[in-house]
Amino acid sequence: MYLHLGKNTTVDTDDIVAILDMDNLTISARSRGFLRQAEERGAVITVAEDVPKSVVLCGSGGDFKVYITNISSKALAGRAKRLKDFSDYSLIDAGFFG
């Protein structure tokens, strides 16, 4: 199944690793560093037409993309949960941290 992120952009729910709130994400120095490195690698895709509210981290085949969207993390998570069970996922398992 696919999740719409805005600006005619969809992602496969099988590739979603995390849906994160932008305000909470930018508090941590480690998270800001991750976003900065992703930007340097060209892995950040902005689909926000307004103020960014959330980040969707997607990974597939050892590659990852970071989508920045103006749809709230709560709304995206609610939509994703209706499509797929994410209870067994973690960033460490996906190889992004640790």
State the Rg of the chain over Cα: 13
> Number of helices (H) and strands (E), helices first, in the chain?
4, 6
| Boundaries of domain holding 26 | 2-82
Count of domains in the chain? 1
Residue 93 lies in a domain: no
Please give the span between the terminal C-alpha atoms of the chain, in angstroms, as a whole number: 29
pTM to 2 decimal places: 0.81
Residue 94 lies in a domain: no
Residue 63 lies in a domain: yes
Give per-residue pLDDT as tens, 79-89: 887 766 656 55
Give per-residue pLDDT as tens, 40-94: 999 999 999 889 999 999 998 888 999 999 999 999 988 887 766 656 555 444 4
Residue 91 lies in a domain: no
Cα-based distances in Å from 46 to 8, 33, 35, 81: 12, 17, 12, 23
